[in-house]
Structure 1
Amino acid sequence: MLPRAVPGPLRAVLKRVLLALGILVLSAVIVYLGRDGYRDSSGKPIGWLTSFYYATVTLSTTGYGDVVPVSDSARLISTLFVTPLRVLFLLVLVGTTLEVLTERTRNEWRQERWRSKVRDHTVVVGYGTKGSSAVQTLLKHGTTPESIVVVDTDPARIAEANRRGLVGIVGDGSRSEVLERAEISKARHVVISAERDDTAVLTTLTVRRLTRRATVVASVREAENAPLLRESGASSVVTSSDTAGQLLGMATISPKVSQVVHDLLSHGEGLELLERPADTGDVDKDPRALKEPVLAVIRGSRTMRFDDVAIGTIQLTDRLVVVRSVHNRRTDPGRR
């Protein structure tokens, strides 16, 4: 389901039905007001029932001929008002039918067009509390909504993702055909935030069977299942229950430290934790000598803490994990 601003199907149909009823009522009122110029073959006077009957058979182009305009004024009104209303009534009915018939074709065309263009996107499997928070963090760090694809079994969650401008797919993320619809083979990142650990493992195995290039980040509730996820192919594993417990313990012992950690994890406020490439001003320096606090140095596939003697000095090909204040980032936007 690609995001777009359209009313729900029930609302659209109801709107057209009300419009058609309005045209019918207006036609019946016109006939009733000019009832002296109409003749019923039964000889009865024209009343409200006959007016609605005549409007119905006229607008639907049935035209039984048992009620007809006989006066010049009635024929003129039928020509100038009833006939245009008949055309409008038919357009409403035909438009509704065509919309129903073409909606599926239009959606399929939009989906094929999206699949042909999507590259290096992020697939988020599971859009519950963890998944939506992960998406919010990605958006705050500059990821565009159209480059995020959400997969969830709950249509309501997918509808919410669409409202945020994300691409949504209703389905089980552990199934190959569902992930293929998300163009998983072209994805750069995959975030797995399933509600059950066994589902997370199965989803990771399925993702790795379909792609080897994507970075897979998965969450588990229990720490004992983390090794199994890594063996299944996850690049990084976050243990939600342990992390939450550690933060709770930290907040109990040292509330201020807990506030700093929360500040680091909250993008756009106070301090933020980010990864940036080393620049020429950093080369050949000790990590502790830089203006920005360096927490770790990433060299190749190895991540080393700032005090690791193996670092020596910073190289141009290194990437640095640093702490930066939001104020400094805003005043020096080019240094990322």
Structure 2
Amino acid sequence: MARRNPRRRIGEAPVLRHRGRTPAWVSLGWRMALALALIGVALAGHWVDRDGLRDNTDGKVSFVDVVYFTMITVTTVGYGDIVPVTDRARMFDTFVVTPVRLFVWLIFLGTAYDFVLRGVWEKWRMRNLQRDLNGHVIVAGHGTSGTEAVAELLRRGKPHDAIVVIDPHADAVARAEAEGVMVLEGDASRNATLDAVKVANASAMIVAAGRDDTSILIVLTARRLAPALPISVVIRSEDNEALAVQAGATTVINPASFAGLLLAGSTTGPHLAEYMMDLAGLHGAVSLRERAVAASEIGSPLSAITTGAGLRLYRGGQRYGFWQAEARSLQPGDTIIEVVPSDDA
């Protein structure tokens, strides 16, 4: 059962999250260590030159008096009960303790910013980033398939801030956030959630909710909000593949069918499965690429393109193989599917 986000009030628009590069406890630890080191320098200097100090209370300067004087001097301007009386002590306070005081206050203010003001700043920044989202990829569901999809997008060079993961489970969102991508804890089948990630401005959407009924509902919602958005969905039951297409999915992927295809292919030819894995993955020798026809290619056959091996073209919503008559002459507006070396892809 999905847990509700307790930080979001009813009626408040969902806000993206993006984890910073440095954990908060590491930053806090470094700041505390630096502040203590600076105070230690002042303390050591005062102790070494304690003869240059005068205690107006009892006339004796003990170690406790030095600790007290150091802390009061670093945090304030002092109370006048213990004062420097020699030129050296006064110069030490002027050129060492005063800069230490300034640095300690800067560290304090920086810490206050990080742990108090930064939350407000980050929320404002994420809202602006969320408002300006464009050309991003939305991944609905961060289970096994969604995790692999995000990892493959990153391997293919997609920027971290151009990937938005939506999942209703806090643990899945935390895993995605740890990968450095933008996340939103919520239900991707709801209009408000998809509006929050600017689904209409996305370049593509991957749906891997883990359940066919949930995935199909997400596709329906996304298709209504973004009629032209390319949507790829993972469907586990063959009976539901047609429903996913009717819901508006551009591409329907059945992991079991694809695995079966590889296994069956490996029995009829030892290199068929290897070649198919090359096409499917990033690190194979060859890759598939989709592109628009170039002006210089118009009128030429699909087999004559020089950028790769042309396999298929799309024209007017129809697909044609390289062996069909329509592929003998490329036309403006055609989309080409070709096999190219991985470095070119």
- What TM-score do the two structures reach when normalised by structure 2? 0.77
Q: Which residue of 2 aligns with 1:231?
A: 246
Q: 1:160 is matched with which residue?
A: 179
2:331 is aligned with 1:319: no
Local SS of the residue matching 1:46: coil
| 1:150 and 1:161 in contact (8 A); partners too | no
Q: Which residue of 2 aligns with 1:194?
A: 209
**Structure-2 change in CA distance of 1:66 and 1:177 (3 Å):** farther
Structure 2 CA distance, aligned partners of 1:28 and 1:312?
83
Assess, with a 3 A threshold, how the Cα gap between structure 1 residues 81 and 62 changes in structure 2: closer, same or farther.
Answer: closer
Q: In the alignment, which of 292, 297, 314 is matched to residue 298 of structure 1?
A: 314
User: In the TM superposition, what are the counterparts of 1:139-218 in structure 2 within 5 Å?
Assistant: 146-152=161-167, 153-162=172-181, 168-174=182-188, 175-218=190-233
Report the Cα distance in structure 2 between the residues aligned to 1:2 and 1:172, rounded to whole angstroms: 12
Deviation at 1:247, TM superposition (A): 1.4
Whether the 8 Å contact between 2:139 and 2:163 is mirrored in structure 1 is yes
CA contact (8 A) 1:221 1:240 kept: yes
Matched, 1:12 2:31: no
Name the amino acid aligned to 2:183.
I
Unaligned runs of 5+ in 1: 163-167, 331-336
Segment of structure 1 superposing worse, 18-27 or 151-160: 151-160
> 1:140–1:268: 8 Å Cα contact kept in structure 2?
no
- Structure 1 residues 180 and 48 mapped into 2: Cα distance closer, same or farther (>3 Å)? farther
Structure 2 CA distance for aligned equivalents of residues 248 and 151 of structure 1: 32
SS across alignment from 2:186: coil
Correspondence list, 1:93-108, <5 A = 93-108=108-123
Opposite residue 198 of structure 2, the aligned amino acid is E
C-alpha distance 283-134 of structure 1, shift in aligned 2 (>3 A): farther
CA distance in 2, matches of 1:312, 1:252: 32
| 1:296–1:303 CA contact under 8 A, matched in 2 | yes
Instruction: Say which is worse superposed, 53-62 or 97-106, in terms of deviation.
Output: 97-106
Q: Which moved more, 1:27-36 or 1:218-227?
A: 218-227
Bigger shift: residues 56-65 or 89-98: 56-65
Partner secondary structure for residue 295 of structure 1: strand
Q: d(CA) in 1 for partners of 2:311 and 2:70?
A: 79
Amino acid in structure 1 at the alignment position of 2:336: L
Amino acid at match of 1:98: Y
Asked if 1 retains the 8 angstrom alpha-carbon contact of 2:231 and 2:250, the reply is yes
Contact 1:32 1:46 in 2 (8 A): no
CA RMSD between the two structures:
3.5
1:169 is aligned with what amino acid?
Answer: V
Between the two structures, name the one with larger relative contact order (CA 8 Å, sep ≥ 6).
Answer: 2
The separation in 1 between residues aligned to 2:327 and 2:82, in whole angstroms, is 100
For residues 277-296 of structure 1, the aligned pairs below 5 Å read 277-278=292-293, 281=297, 283=299, 285=301, 293-296=309-312
In the TM superposition, what are the counterparts of 1:126-137 in structure 2 within 5 Å? 126-135=141-150, 137=152
SS of corresponding position for 1:262? helix
The one-letter code matched in structure 2 to 1:296 is R
List runs of 5+ in structure 2 lacking aligned partners. Answer: 1-15
Cα deviation digits, residues 182-225 of structure 1 (max 9, x gap): 21121231111233334323322332343222111111233233
Q: SS of the counterpart of 2:107?
A: helix
Show CA shifts across 1:105-136 (max 9, x none).
Answer: 43344334434543333222234553354345
Partner residue, 1:333: none
**8 Å contact kept, 2:154–2:160:** yes
Change (3 A) 1:45 1:88: same
CA distances 1:293-330 after superposition (whole Å, capped 9, x unpaired): 54333221122344557x47434143333334458x59
Structure 2 residue aligned with 1:50 = 65
| 2:313 alignment partner AA | V
Flag the 1:277–1:21 CA change in 2: closer, same or farther, 3 A: closer
Alpha carbons of 1:52 and 1:269: their partners in 2 closer, same or farther (altered >3 Å)? same
Cα drift, residue 253 of structure 1: 4.4
* Deviation of the 1:59 alpha carbon: 1.5
